[in-house]
Structure 1
Amino acid sequence: MADTNSVNTSGLWTDYISGGDKSSSKLGSREVNSNLDKDAFLRLLVTQLQYQDPLNPMDDKEFLSQMAQFTSLEQMNNMNASVSKSQAFSMIGKLVIGTIYDEKTNTYEEVAGQVQYVTLKKGEPYLVINGKEMSVNDVENVYEIQLDSINSNVATSQSLNLIGKHIQTIIRDSSGTPIEYIEGIVNYIKFDKGTPILMVGSKEIYPSNVMGISNGNMLLGKPIKTEFGEGTIDSIKYINGEPKVIANGNQVDLEDLAHLSQAYLLVGQEIGYGNISGEVTGIELIKGEVYLNVGNESISYKKYTGIE
């Protein structure tokens, strides 16, 4: 005959994993959490001993087996914590890149910079980078470089801030003649003897040569009018040191690349020149010169800015 006063402990393990609490009347009603720490394991063992059947107590071998599991779990946790802290402290002074999650704004942010120091929160190490905290698990890249001076530190910090940004530059030969226009997104930074180099695709660009920075395309892909009609800028080429706009496969002369870049900044703005006023709706190239389209009129960019 079954003992009606005995306690059924068969569901204790399941109830505990389900978040059950002995003081709660809704045992097992909380969200399932399969990640048990050493404290949870010990509480399980104590609960199992407390509610064991006195007429059929736990076998010594079973008890020793569970104690061995507990000891192994504790050693693994201690080892993992030690390795994590060791990794964190080894990154002090190095340049790291990673992505952190902001619970307040529910957004992810890419953080890059030199690890200033390590702080511990509930035993977990966090890297402090420019005042922001990053878990070791969130680190994506680590760079070990020698910063010879404050100036190189500043240059590196500025370069890291360009990751993900659109930049433009002109490559010149040894005589200073322009030979190539480059525009694109900075994918990552590499270092040559401590000097940061921006990587745009397979192109290497020194930060000092950057002539434009933006969150989007500056010239490539922009709409433009030429003698061949309306189109978009496919590329910028240099032929004998002179810039050429390639739009829809057609090559068009360009007097000054800087004028073209600056003119696009006026698109969407209200301007006035002489008897003409209104919103700049587009850019046009006429015999190599940049013009602003305002309604049905075209205004020379050089005349509007007073360059000539």
Structure 2
Amino acid sequence: MTTIANSGFTQSQLDQINGTSSSSSTQANLTSAEEIQNRFLKLLTTQIQAQDPLNPMDNSQMTSQMSQISMVSGLEKLNATLQSMMDSQASSQSMAATNVLGKKVLAAGNDINLQQSSAAGMLKLAGPADKISVDITDSSGNIVRSLSLPAAGSAGMVSYTWDGKDKNGNLLADGSYSVNVTASSSGTAVTATPLQGYLVSAVAFDTGKPQLLLSSGQRVSMSDVQLITE
């Protein structure tokens, strides 16, 4: 609650502005800056009409009090505007999440599916890298193949393919495998995130923000989606 300092008003008048009474233990809480402003202006008008012409009230203090009221009122309006913007953004996010239901999206994931001796994947680099490696592992965690990718001159997404063969050139069975990606630039590690395409099977709102339920079983937010492919 905003309290108005003494600027020539009587204690009774100040109590009315501040929402308190010196003769009672009951405190009336003001609900908004507008109510404070209305009371202040009403009492100010009364004070001006009744003031002694030979001893007028201090204009500088009056200006200071009015500035305080304007600041509180402005903050309330700013808060209301920000809340409206947040509500609008949340509504837009919910609509965007619903629109991708049933579509395929590109999101973080270290799985890769080998079908008909062919598989494709992507990774996201946080910066340029002169060395990029992709290790493919089976369900037991054994590395069955290591891929060396061309250098990347800038941050961004890099795609790669796998012919389904192990490090000895033997064709492996179709199925699900995992990948581990690493990257470096002049010996310094560069963050590399494996990406994979998933079908959006549902949209959940139980956390207060929309989350996509992917065919892999994981949950991701809209900000985690790198690409909507179809």
When you count helix as a share of all residues, which structure comes out higher? 2
Task: Indicate the structure with greater strand content.
Answer: 1
TM-score (norm 2): 0.35
| TM-score of the two chains, using structure 1 as the length reference | 0.28
Structure of higher RCO (CA pairs closer than 8 Å, 6+ residues apart):
2
